[in-house]
Structure 1
Amino acid sequence: MLEPANKLALRVRRVRPEYRYRADPAPAESGSGETLMDGFTPLGAILGGVMIGASAALLLVLNGRIAGISGILGGLLAAPTRETGWRVAFLSGLILAPLVYAGFGGAWPQAPVGTSFPLLILAGLLVGFGARLGAGCTSGHGVCGIGRGSPRSLVATGTFMAVAVLTVFVTRHLTGA
């Protein structure tokens, strides 16, 4: 029997040759390269979603602006305007919030990255190119656009999800990564 959700640690591992995934109760400390899901709580996920939705709604209602991170950052890269202040404040909040959380005793999340730095740079550039090509990023389309019922955002988010599923399938099942 699994422990309560707030103490749940799952180890997800590939079972060869069928390439199926299986979740087993496991300790959080696994040095074997397996993907760990530690400390998931539905309450935390719901609270986080409500906070993201509330901040996006407040920015739209109070400023008339959409909380798409690529658009907010892109606006800062242009010549300074009267919109520079709220853009700096918004992005500063994204950077400072985890630091404040850690300052109050919160633990840094463990996010090991198993790839090279040049590949991360290339991935970031491709994401940036995709955000420009799609006229917005996942936060702008997925959180704000869908909430507003934008058909373009529904198509964009569906495309993001389909490409993500395809990428995972290719990297996990066809290349053996």
Structure 2
Amino acid sequence: MNNVAFYTALAGGILIGGAATLLLLLNGKIAGISNILGKLPFTHQDDRLWRVLFLAGLIGGAAAYNLFSGDAPVARMHFPAWLLAIAGLLVGFGTSMSNGCTSGHGVCGLGRLSLRSLAATMVFLVVGIITAIVTRHVFGVA
């Protein structure tokens, strides 16, 4: 790994951890994206603003990085649309089953030493590895 990639990854991790910590300390809320987004339409007016601002920060941060760095990730256009649709549905199903997503369990839950989050994160990783192997070797998509 070159030095630039190391420092940008380090800075990203510090920003994600800092944002999750501040949200918990200042608002008492967990920075689990699936929960923040999934409950947005069903929340009271006083609970909606922080959710919208948090999501806007995620999108705005990615847009700013893309705009100023010129180093946006390259989309994998050769993935079949049906496979992407199935993947999206499975991710949604998995986050619903585990009551959270990788950000909620992996960043916030592990930081709070939650055994449930440790189990969920281990399952996420194992399923991700299996998915990568199947996608590459069964479907032939790299």
- TM-score normalised to the size of structure 2? 0.87
Relative distance call for 1:78 and 1:59 in structure 2 (3 A) is: same
Higher Rg: 1
Aligned partner of 1:61 in structure 2 is: 25
Match for residue 87 of structure 1? 51
CA distance in 2, matches of 1:46, 1:107: 16
Please give the alpha-carbon distance, in whole angstroms, between the structure 2 residues aligned to 1:172 and 1:65.
38
**Is 1:78 equivalent to 2:42 in the alignment?**
yes
Among candidates 95, 99, 110, match of residue 146 of structure 1: 110
Task: For CA contacts below 8 A with separation 6 or more, give which structure has more relative contact order.
Answer: 2
> Where in structure 1 do 4 or more consecutive aligned residues deviate above 6 Å?
none
- CA gap 1:143/1:105 in 2 versus in 1, 3 angstroms: closer
Letter in 1 for 2:114: S
* Aligned-residue RMSD, C-alpha: 1.9
Which structure dedicates a bigger proportion of its chain to strand?
1
Q: Would you say how many aligned residue pairs link Structure 1 and Structure 2?
A: 140
Structure 2 gap segments, 5+ residues each: none
**Percent identity (aligned):** 50
After superposition, the Cα gap between the structure-2 partners of 1:64 and 1:166, relative to the gap in structure 1 and judged at 3 Å, is same
More helix by share: 2
After TM superposition, the structure 1 stretch with the greater mean CA deviation from structure 2, 123-132 or 59-68, is: 123-132
Does the C-alpha gap of structure 1 residues 60 and 118 become closer, same or farther in structure 2, counting only changes over 3 Å?
same
* TM-score between both structures, scaled by the size of structure 1: 0.71
Residue segments in structure 1 that go unaligned for 5+ positions in a row? 7-39
